[in-house]
C-alpha cells in the first residue's frame, strides 16, 4: 500500500514537473538541476514504465538518471537521487531485461514441479537432458565479488558441486538472475543456511553457508537483489559462499559460464550440452563406484591388493602413491 501511494504521489509529481519545466536542450548532456524530480524516492520511475521504449536508465554513482527519448516533450534527463541503492539496482536490471521478460523457459523446463523439499527433486539423468539447449544468461549479477577459494570437481570422498568464493561474514549475497526463491533452509552438517532460486532462464542457483538468509520461499527476486548475508555455517572451514549453478537438478561447473576475473558471464547465452556441460559425469560415476578400505596393522600394498582382487599398480594409480610409499594402519585406501 505504501508503495502504491508513493507511486501515485510520484506520478503526480512527474506530471506536475512536466507542466512546469521547460524542455531541455537536446545537446545538453549534463544533468541540470531542473531535471531533478525526486529525491530519496526512486518509485518515480514507475510511471515511465508505461512506455519503456521512451527512455533508458543509467546509474551514475548513487544517482539514477532516466535518459529520455529526445523526441518526447519531457526533460532530457530525469534525475532521481536516492539512498535506496538496492531498489535502483533492481530497477536498472529490470529495465535492461525488459525484452527478455517474455521468455520464461523455466516453466516448460520444470513443468509443474515446485517443492522446497530437496535441492534436486527432479532426478533426471544427464542422458535424458536435451542437447544444445540455449540458456539466456545476459541478465547476470555476480553474487559476491571475491576470488575462488575452492573449485568445482571431485574431492577425496565426494564431489564438490559448487564453486567456493571468498567473503567476509555479513557480506551481501546477491541473486544471480531474476527468479523465484524455491528453498530457504538450514542443514547443520552440509550447506548451513542456504537458499535455492529457480530462475526464469531455466537455471537454478544455490547459495550456501550464509549467516542469515534475507528472503523467503516463493519470493520473487531479481538479479542483484540481496538474498542473504555471507557466513560460515554448516560444513565450512572459513567464511565463503558455496555457489552452485544447476540445470534440471544437475550441477554445472560455474567456471564454464562465469569469468571470475571480470565477474561477468563469458557470453550472453550458454548452450547446455551433455558432453561439455556435464563433462564431470565420468568423475561422478567413478566416485559412486569407489570403494575404500581401512589399512590394517601389518598390511602391505600387495596384501591389500590381493585381498581386494586388484593390483598394486592399480592401488597406486587410484591413490596417487608409489609402490614404495609407506602406508599407515588406520588410514583409508581406495581399492576401486
**Residue ranges that bind Zn ion, judged by CB under 5 A:** 162, 164, 242
Within 8 A by CB and 6+ apart from 171, the residues are 144, 229, 230
Residue 178 CB, nearest approach to Zn ion (Å): 24
When the beta carbons of 251 and 305 are compared against Zn ion, the nearer one is 251
Residue 17 CB, nearest approach to Zn ion (Å): 50
When the beta carbons of 76 and 242 are compared against Zn ion, the nearer one is 242
When the beta carbons of 182 and 242 are compared against Zn ion, the nearer one is 242
CB count within 10 Å of CB 16 equals 11
When the beta carbons of 255 and 299 are compared against Zn ion, the nearer one is 255
| Residues forming beta bridges with residue 242, ordered by sequence position | 164, 208
Residue 90 CB, nearest approach to Zn ion (Å): 28
Contact 178, 136 (CB under 8 A): no
Question: What is the rounded CA–CA span in Å between residue 79 and residue 37?
Answer: 6
When the beta carbons of 93 and 243 are compared against Zn ion, the nearer one is 243
Residue 75 has phi, psi (to 5 degrees) of -55, 150
When the beta carbons of 164 and 171 are compared against Zn ion, the nearer one is 164
Residue 244 CB, nearest approach to Zn ion (Å): 8
b/e per residue 308-322 (b: at least 16 CB within 10 A): eebebeebbebbeee
Residue 209 CB, nearest approach to Zn ion (Å): 8
Q: By C-alpha distance, which of 228, 221, 235 is closest to 170?
A: 228
Question: What is the rounded CA–CA span in Å between residue 262 and residue 258?
Answer: 9
**Cβ-closest residue to Zn ion?**
242
Length of the chain: 336
Residue 227 CB, nearest approach to Zn ion (Å): 17
Question: C-alpha angle 10/99/137, rounded to 5°?
Answer: 115
Question: What is the rounded CA–CA span in Å between residue 163 and residue 97?
Answer: 26
Residue 270 CB, nearest approach to Zn ion (Å): 21
Question: What is the rounded CA–CA span in Å between residue 229 and residue 117?
Answer: 22
Question: C-alpha angle 215/220/225, rounded to 5°?
Answer: 60
When the beta carbons of 78 and 195 are compared against Zn ion, the nearer one is 195
Amino acid at each position: 500500500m505504501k508503495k502504491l501511494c508513493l507511486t501515485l504521489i510520484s506520478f503526480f509529481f512527474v506530471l506536475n514537473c512536466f507542466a512546469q519545466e521547460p524542455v531541455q536542450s537536446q545537446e545538453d548532456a549534463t544533468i541540470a538541476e531542473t531535471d531533478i524530480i525526486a529525491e530519496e524516492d526512486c518509485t518515480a520511475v514507475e510511471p515511465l514504465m508505461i512506455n519503456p521504449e521512451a527512455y533508458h536508465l543509467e546509474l551514475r554513482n548513487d544517482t539514477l538518471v532516466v535518459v529520455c527519448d529526445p523526441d518526447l516533450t519531457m526533460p532530457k534527463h530525469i534525475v532521481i537521487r536516492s539512498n535506496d541503492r538496492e531498489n535502483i539496482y533492481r530497477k536498472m536490471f529490470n529495465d535492461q531485461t525488459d525484452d527478455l521478460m517474455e521468455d520464461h523457459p523455466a516453466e516448460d523446463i520444470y513443468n509443474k514441479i515446485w517443492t522446497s523439499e530437496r535441492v534436486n527433486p527432479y532426478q533426471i539423468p544427464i542422458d535424458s537432458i536435451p542437447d544444445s539447449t540455449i540458456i539466456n544468461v545476459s541478465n547476470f549479477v555476480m553474487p559476491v565479488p571475491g576470488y575462488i577459494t575452492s573449485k568445482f570437481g571431485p574431492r577425496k570422498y565426494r564431489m564438490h558441486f559448487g564453486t567456493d568464493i571468498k567473503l567476509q561474514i555479513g557480506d551481501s549475497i546477491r541473486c544471480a538472475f531474476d527468479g523465484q526463491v524455491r528453498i530457504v533452509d538450514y542443514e547443520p552438517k552440509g550447506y548451513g543456511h542456504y537458499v535455492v532460486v529457480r530462475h526464469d532462464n531455466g537455471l537454478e542457483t544455490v547459495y550456501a553457508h550464509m549467516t542469515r538468509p534475507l528472503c523467503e520461499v516463493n519470493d520473487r527476486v531479481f538479479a542483484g537483489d540481496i538474498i542473504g548475508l555471507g557466513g560460515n555455517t554448516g560444513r565450512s572451514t572459513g567464511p565463503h559462499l558455496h555457489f552452485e549453478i544447476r540445470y534440471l537438478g544437475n550441477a554445472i561447473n560455474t567456471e564454464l559460464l562465469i569469468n571470475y576475473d571480470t565477474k561477468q558471464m563469458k557470453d550472453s547465452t550458454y548452450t547446455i550440452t551433455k558432453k561439455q556441460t556435464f563433462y564431470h559425469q565420468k568423475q561422478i560415476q567413478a566416485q559412486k563406484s569407489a570403494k575404500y578400505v581401512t589399512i590394517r596393522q601389518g598390511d602391505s600394498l600387495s596384501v591389500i591388493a590381493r585381498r581386494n582382487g586388484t593390483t598394486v599398480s592399480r592401488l597406486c594409480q587410484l591413490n596417487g602413491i608409489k609402490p614404495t610409499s609407506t602406508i599407515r594402519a588406520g588410514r583409508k585406501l581406495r581399492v576401486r
